Structure 1
């Protein structure tokens, strides 16, 4: 079964402010709770396609954590992205057999505000150009809630495209393909990303989401700045919506580059 996009992680300074701002953008926002490490807590925006945004805040720095290092150095904005495995142990073993340097799964979890405990396992490669895997131990519906929380006033139904900033397009394409179990020869094309020249490769995920790996040509422009400031990882998210397309207010999105495309695109 093809791996699907599970969630995109966005660092915010104040969780209550982020909750209010994403609600002002037309999203239904829900409280996620506190992680077992006691250092981070989150709120979520869950979409009809099963993917979600995780808005995460740090109660204190965690020197051992890359997310903490990026946030405390570069501020609010994208941190990471995760894929949903079919069976995490088997998917990790398969990726390792294909040559990807990815660690064995480790346990994690959090407590929801209603007292429910969620447990999962994650597996990560050393570089942030490829996503981590997040596989549920408790039922996924506890972590990724269903029902009316997936309906949004702005009409957003899911994530159509995710752009990931990378330094070496060929190397990242090969690493991503090893994770997905797909061909490593996706065409590399010249394109404009955020108005600046880049080399790109498009990789389809399950569920209809497309990941575009993008490496800047030169040291100027938003893509190059993002790499310099935040390192490799998510650069932009494009949502599907049944309504009008356009960019979302980057101030309200806390540094995350978000936009929407209409149903015909």
Structure 2
């Protein structure tokens, strides 16, 4: 069974610059490390609800890499992962529901402190679908905790990921097959509850609040995650839109 949102991938050009900018937005950023293939490195922003943001930059050209095609469109929100209970079982279950997935594949990275961590991933063919990321080494080695959860801007977790799609019913059916449950149905969008957060699959119906964001994303980058909303510590933060210049093109709010 798919348990929760795991993390969100944000493509940046210069990792050091992105770390500085996200700190200016009020996030506490922790160094990640270099991935096993040597093509990418990252930094992490983790939250008390167990989710995190991954700031990811390429170190070299990487034709054939899942995320390399996004480089042409520039920085921004490019992907996200869901946390499976047992990735091989969840892949088999999704396939039984008619969804084509590939994997699990081995992955990993070397942390800055020299600790090697490993995981497994699985992917669908459809561009709007997230990937699955299941830990081999303990998850606590992959996801920073403790002081890393304390963000000056008051963000405590990922409340909502809005996914831009062209055909709402087709994409919602794919998500239902992947996750193994039916969504909450609202006009122009379908909401999948995952742990404390939601994945909102949304079309471009003009009366919806984020329809312009969805349309822009479809035109600029195609189907996929288009916007983020963070849950806030209500004693420490006020709702606000975060500066898209400092967020490297990601549309995000503290709700």
Please give the alpha-carbon distance, in whole angstroms, between the structure 1 residues aligned to 2:88 and 2:148.
30
For this pair of structures, how many residues does the alignment match?
A: 248
Please name the residue that 1:28 is paired with: 28
What's the TM-score once normalised by structure 2's chain length?
Answer: 0.93
Partner SS state of residue 173, structure 1: helix
Query: In the TM superposition, what is the alpha-carbon distance from 1:61 to its structure 2 partner?
Result: 2.3
Please name the residue that 1:155 is paired with: 154
Please name the residue that 1:187 is paired with: 185
State which of 212, 235, 238 in structure 1 corresponds to 2:200.
212
Please give the alpha-carbon distance, in whole angstroms, between the structure 1 residues aligned to 2:216 and 2:140.
37
Query: In the TM superposition, what is the alpha-carbon distance from 1:85 to its structure 2 partner?
Result: 0.5
Instruction: Please give the residue correspondences for 1:95-134 in structure 2 after superposition, counting only pairs within 5 Å.
Output: 95-134=94-133
Please name the residue that 1:90 is paired with: 89
1:172 matched to 2:161? The reply is: no
Please name the residue that 1:225 is paired with: 216
What's the TM-score once normalised by structure 1's chain length?
Answer: 0.90
Query: In the TM superposition, what is the alpha-carbon distance from 1:146 to its structure 2 partner?
Result: 1.5
User: Does the 8 Å CA contact 1:80/1:128 hold for their aligned counterparts?
Assistant: no
Please name the residue that 2:5 is paired with: 5
**Structure 1: runs of 5+ lacking an equivalent:** 190-198
Q: Deviations over 1:144-163 (max 9, x none)?
A: 02111111111110011110
1:256 matched to 2:233? The reply is: no
Partner SS state of residue 67, structure 2: helix
Please give the alpha-carbon distance, in whole angstroms, between the structure 1 residues aligned to 2:138 and 2:216.
39
Query: In the TM superposition, what is the alpha-carbon distance from 1:30 to its structure 2 partner?
Result: 0.5
User: Does the 8 Å CA contact 1:34/1:112 hold for their aligned counterparts?
Assistant: yes
Please give the alpha-carbon distance, in whole angstroms, between the structure 1 residues aligned to 2:28 and 2:212.
33
Please give the alpha-carbon distance, in whole angstroms, between the structure 2 residues aligned to 1:222 and 1:137.
36
Please give the alpha-carbon distance, in whole angstroms, between the structure 1 residues aligned to 2:39 and 2:162.
28
- State the superposition RMSD in angstroms: 1.4
